[in-house]
Each structure stands twice: as C-alpha cells, then as structure tokens.
Amino acid sequence: MKNKILPLCLVLFTLVNISCKKEKEPAVIGKWISLSNYTEENSSFTWKSTNGFSQIITFNPDARFNTFIDIPTGGGTYSYDKIAAKIDLHYEADYFGTTPGTVTYKIDVLTNTRLVVSSFSSSGNLQFKTEYVRLD
C-alpha cells in the first residue's frame, strides 16, 4: 500500500506545481526605442514612423531612467504603477538643460517586446501616443 501512495503523491504534486506556475509578467525595466508616434494632424490622429528620430529610454531596476535622442535628453527616477497602468517620470535638472518636473504616461500596452504609452492634457484630452520596442 505504501508503495502505491508515494507515486500517487508525486504525480499529484507535479500536477499542482505545473498548474500553479504563472507566466512571468512583462516588466518595464529595460531599454526601449520608439518606432512610431500617434499624433493629431488635421483634426485626426494617425500613427507615423519616427523616421530616424527615435527616442531611447532605459528603465533601470533601481527606479532610475534616462532618455536619449542623438544626445542625452534627461533622466531621473520613475515610479511604475502596474494596477493604475501608469508610469511617472521624475526628471532631474542636469547639465543638458533639463528642467525638473514630472511627466505621467498611461501604459496602453506592455508585453515582453512592446510598450505603448499615452500622454493626456490636464483636461484629460489625448495629446499623443508613442510605441516602443525592447532593445535588450
């Protein structure tokens, strides 16, 4: 009897362990490059390629970020709120002329390879969206 219980327990343990494993959720941490922007033109929004004027943004595990478009364009700390689907970028003053301040983006899409963020005015109107792909 004992010989039959042990294999049964091992099978049950394996089934529970496999079914309880969760997929790793995509993380914002990493290096991203913009591919396209969704902006208003002639009273309608359209996606347009960045055509070589891509922004690179790096989110580090220590909650720091930096941006780059041909030259460094700012950095500071960030706070990512997964439940609210938003990220706050807290820019710090630097020798490139960055003015301190906070910019908030709504996260529309976050997968292991793609990130789409939206920017809204203080009155709640969409200003633009930017699509990024992961570089690392």
With the CA atoms of 15, 16, 18 and 23 taken in that order, what torsion angle do they form, in degrees rounded to the nearest 10? 150
Give dist(CA 129, CA 108) in Å, integer. 9
> Helix or strand or coil: residue 12?
helix
**pLDDT tens per residue, range 94-112:** 877 778 999 999 999 999 9
Please report which confidence band the pLDDT of residue 10 belongs to, taking 50, 70 and 90 as the band edges.
very low
Q: What are the structure tokens assigned to 122, written together? A: 């203080």
pLDDT at 16 (0 to 100): 46
Average pLDDT over residues 53-81: 93
pTM above 0.85, yes or no: no
pLDDT exceeds cutoff 50 at 113: yes
**Phi/psi of residue 25, nearest 5 degrees:** -75, 145
User: How many C-beta atoms surround the C-beta of residue 100 within 10 A?
Assistant: 11
pLDDT exceeds cutoff 60 at 13: no
**pLDDT tens per residue, range 15-63:** 445 445 454 667 999 999 999 999 998 889 999 999 888 999 999 999 9
**Between 2.40.128.540, 1.10.10.10, 3.40.50.510, 3.30.70.2190, what CATH number should domain 26-134 receive?**
2.40.128.540
Among 33, 25, 31, 28, residue whose Cα is nearest residue 133? 33
